[in-house]
Structure 1
Amino acid sequence: MGVAELLAGYRPHDPIETADLARLRAMLEVTEDPWSRAIPLHVTASAMIVHPETERVLLRWHARQRAWLQVGGHGDPGETDPLEIALREAAEETGLPDLKPWPDAELAHLAIVSVPAKGDEPAHEHADLRFVLATGSPEAARPETPDAPLRWLTLDEARQSNHEPNVHETLARVHARFA
């Protein structure tokens, strides 16, 4: 499923997400490849990984953002399915072998986020398509690199570890799924 198909039936939850969805749909009308890093606003896919039995979430340290965030990132050349990209990125960044959509494969949250400049790459924005993935083996989590540690946290601990309103919104949607 491509980005346009994923968004066709998606209903935003609040005014911020409504505005972000409108911006993304407008961008999709004028670009051939919404995943291209060459455009200032491009699509990424991410996942909040959960361990349903303990109601914990797995966060990864992102040095560029200087924050504990969900896992995810850019599509590789030829990739177009947001859920498949989120699954691949999550497996690469955590080493978890059993990730699956939870409780379903629906898009959990759309958030446009600013990314600071780094090296030759200018500041830009990600239209991040967020899913919820579950694991039954949290002890198998391994960081992809030493500078990208992972932490299993309760929802309260995760909220305290991050001050970004869009991440708090994603965590609220995870909390609703636990309930």
Structure 2
Amino acid sequence: MTLHADARAVLASWRAPDPGQDALRREYIDHLDRHPDAMTRGCLPGHLTASAAIVDTAGARAVLTLHAKLGLWLQTGGHCEPGDTTLAAAALREATEESGISGLRLLPEPVWLDRHRVPCGGGSWHLDVQYAAVAPEGAPLVRDAAESADLAWFAVDALPEPSDDSCRTLFAVAARAVRRSGGGPAVDAPAGVSRPLPR
């Protein structure tokens, strides 16, 4: 299965938590159907991206990165790469690279969708598929200086500023999902990824 086909299958089977998210889910599927290159950053009408809200096993603390270009505290995530075979694998790779945490585990399904304007190619859209990732207890953080101006743990209910509403919503939803799961997610970190890597 191609990454494009995986993304479509994930979105087709995902049970959105509310009507607004379901409408966005259907927009993503329509975009995939209209754009065979929708998983690549070269798709300037917009491209799917993958991100992950990293939280502890209790769903109480969160890892955020201070984005070097945007100057905002955000979740980990970004563009899909040619080696990614699934949306979940892309989200987990990005989370591992950007946090430096070994042994991250991903909840098996997305927790939220967010569509936002970005400067890619002179102006485009990110159709972000967002997951929750669980960090092992006591996991050290390793910041990638090329990607992030800072990297730290925060209480889920006291995220740092500056951030944005979409980030705050994602972490609230992700923390609830991790608490409901009992901290037992199903997707392991990709083999051989234990430190930040360049994009």
> TM-score interval w.r.t. the shorter chain?
0.7 to 0.9
- Worse-superposed segment, 80-89 or 144-153: 144-153
Deviation, 1:68, is 0.6
- One-letter identity of the residue aligned with 1:156: D
Paired residue secondary structure (2:125): strand
Normalising by structure 1, what TM-score? 0.86
Deviation, 1:15, is 4.2
5+ residue gaps, structure 1: none
How far apart in 1 are the matches of 2:59 and 2:8? Answer: 35
Residue of structure 2 aligned with 1:14, choices 12, 18, 21: 18
Identity of matched residues, %: 28
Map of 2:165 onto structure 1? 165
Deviation, 1:137, is 4.1
Aligned residues: 173
CA RMSD of aligned residues (A): 2.1
Normalising by structure 2, what TM-score? 0.78
2:3 maps to 1:31: no
5+ residue gaps, structure 2: 181-199
Deviation, 1:20, is 2.2
How far apart in 1 are the matches of 2:108 and 2:29? Answer: 21
Paired residue secondary structure (1:111): strand
2:119 maps to 1:116: yes
CA contact (8 A) 2:98 2:147 kept: no
- One-letter identity of the residue aligned with 2:82: P
- One-letter identity of the residue aligned with 2:103: D
CA contact (8 A) 2:59 2:156 kept: no
Map of 2:86 onto structure 1? 81
How far apart in 2 are the matches of 1:17 and 1:27? Answer: 15
Paired residue secondary structure (2:158): helix
Deviation, 1:29, is 0.9
- One-letter identity of the residue aligned with 1:141: L
How far apart in 1 are the matches of 2:73 and 2:171? Answer: 12
How far apart in 2 are the matches of 1:54 and 1:107? Answer: 16
Deviation, 1:33, is 2.4
